[in-house]
Amino acid sequence: MRIDRIDIIRVKNPFTHPFETSFVRFVERDALLVKIYSEGLVGYGECKAFHAPLYNPEDNGTCLHIIKNFLAPLLLHQEIEGPVEFMQRVAFIRGNRLAIASVENALWELKRQREGKSLKTLIGGTRDEVEVGVSLGIEADISTLLKKIEKYLAEGYHRTKIKIKPGKDITVLREIRRHYPDITLTVDANSDYTLDDIELFKAMDDLNLAYIEQPLGENDIIDHAVLQKAINTPICLDESIISVESARQAIEIGSCRIINVKSSRVGGICESIRIHDLCRKHDIPLWVGGMTELGIGRVQNISLASLPHFTLAHDIAASNRYFAEDITIPVVNITDRCTLIVPDETNGVHYEVDEKAIDRMMVSRDVMK
């Protein structure tokens, strides 16, 4: 395909309720959209970076710079076969995976349209629908959190994940378990602890958590292996898994027993498929992680989750879990079984981009042609 024009659109969409993690309290989704024009078609990719480098080293500013000055020039007015060839062209770039993934995702979307197939079919997905879990932020008090848990359990969410940070962890979790002894419960520390906290994690073994997500730093895969040997609860790595190589190393030294895949964090769908295949071989269960994405990213996550070894509930909530308005038609919504139907060629499930909604949310636009 020939690439004719690339726009980078910055949008802001307010959250209906603030979402607090150990690293920041989000009040809006500040995101970049990459819009690639090719031979009369348009493919969008959503960049999953945030306004600041808080979750990983990239942010919207660095992504805008990388896309504009390094990625777009590799494509503009050139022929390219698709996302696989794009990944070969960007192999010289170190890191900057969120930026690379946003363009890679847009190229998958163009490939999908050109071939008249679903993303599920293109990547070899096998599931018709996928189960959804909810990720709940840190709240000022336990009663507010308990009310939220109740609300999402009533909606049928298959797994309840609670964000924790030092000082807001074991006491909160014990209280949740007192009210809900049997629910599938997990925690996400977003890298906010160290091995000095090992006794705290040992104490969590009594809480029957399905997993503890990313307790230690992004680069601490050795310390994660030490921690995993000291506790019974499985560790699920998020931030630490940035490539198939880092997944291989983490599995080899026993840093985790579960992995959450975000196609953005690992540089795209091509790399996500490699991680999927590796983890399938090693029997490491997988689920698709979320970044409070807008609809474009959310829809691509649903298709990724259709791969056979994504066996655990995903952080791909209904759009209304975060937003009053979104950028797809229809907006992503759950079934009465709290699942998401994976779009394919036969089931009539199809999402269009809501250009008018994007225009309402737009704060800037860079055009390259």
Catalytic residues: 163, 262
Cβ of 7: how many Cβ atoms within 10 Å? Answer: 17
Helix and strand numbers (H, E) in the chain are 12, 15
Stretch that binds Mg ion, among 21-29, 154-162, 213-221, 280-288 (CB under 5 A): 213-221
State the nearest-atom distance from the C-beta of 20 to ligand OSB, in Å. 10
**Residue 366's closest CA among 89, 110, 60?**
60
DSSP 79: B
Q: For residues 172-231, which are near ligand OSB according to CB under 6 A?
A: 188, 190
Question: Which residue among 289, 295, 306, 310 contacts ligand OSB (CB under 6 A)?
Answer: 289
Question: Which residue, 46 or 344, has its beta carbon nearer to ligand OSB?
Answer: 46
204: Cβ–Cβ under 8 A, 6 or more apart, which residues? 170, 173, 187, 212, 231, 233
Applying CB under 5 A, which of residues 20, 109, 139, 238 lies at the interface with Mg ion? Answer: 238
| Residue 176 CB-density burial (10 A; 0-12 exposed, 13-18 middle, 19+ buried) | buried
Compute the 3-state secondary structure of the chain and give helix, strand, coil in percent, each to the nearest 5: 35, 25, 40
Looking at the Cβ atoms of 157 and 351, the one nearer to ligand OSB is 157
Q: Which stretch binds Mg ion (CB under 5 A): 205-213, 216-224, 226-234, 294-302?
A: 205-213
- The least distance separating ligand OSB from the CB of residue 47, rounded to whole angstroms, comes to 13
Q: For residues 68 and 359, give the distance between their C-alpha atoms in angstroms, rounded to a whole number.
A: 21
Burial letters 242-266, b for 16+ CB under 10 A, else e? bbbebbbbbbeeebbbbbbbbbbbb
Classify residue 128 as exposed, middle or buried by CB count within 10 Å of its CB (0-12, 13-18, 19+). middle
Task: Give the Cα separation of 129 and 339 in Å (integer).
Answer: 6
Give the contact letters, 110-149, x = binds to ligand OSB (CB under 6 A), - = no. Answer: -------------------------x--------------
- Using the contact rule CB under 6 A, the part of the chain among 29-37, 67-75, 195-203, 285-293 near ligand OSB is 285-293
Contact partner at residue 317 from Mg ion, ligand OSB, none, CB < 5 to 8 Å by partner kind: ligand OSB
Nearer to ligand OSB, 268 or 289 (CB): 289
Task: Kindly state the tokens that stand for 344.
Answer: 């394919």
134 vs 358, beta carbon nearer ligand OSB: 134
315 binds ligand OSB (CB under 6 A): yes
Instruction: Give the residue nearest to ligand OSB (CB).
Output: 290
Q: Does 293 bind Mg ion (CB under 5 A)?
A: no
Is residue 317 at the binding interface for ligand OSB, with CB under 6 A as the rule?
yes
Place of tokens 């009040």: 27
Is residue 238 within 8 A of residue 262, CB to CB? The reply is yes
With CB under 5 to 8 Å by kind, the binding choice for 290 among Mg ion, ligand OSB, none is ligand OSB
* Contact between 286 and ligand OSB per CB under 6 A: no
Residue 190 near residue 215 (C-beta atoms within 8 A): no
For Cα atoms 332, 191, 312, give the angle at the middle one, nearest 5 degrees: 40
If one asks whether residue 301 binds ligand OSB (CB under 6 A), the answer comes out as no
Considering the rule CB under 6 A, would residue 292 count as an interface residue with ligand OSB?
A: yes
- What are the angstrom distances between the C-alpha of 149 and each of 7, 204, 321? 40, 19, 12
Applying CB under 5 A, among 20, 188, 220, 326 the residue interacting with Mg ion is 188
- Interaction site with ligand OSB (CB under 6 A): 55, 135, 188, 190, 238, 289-292, 315, 317
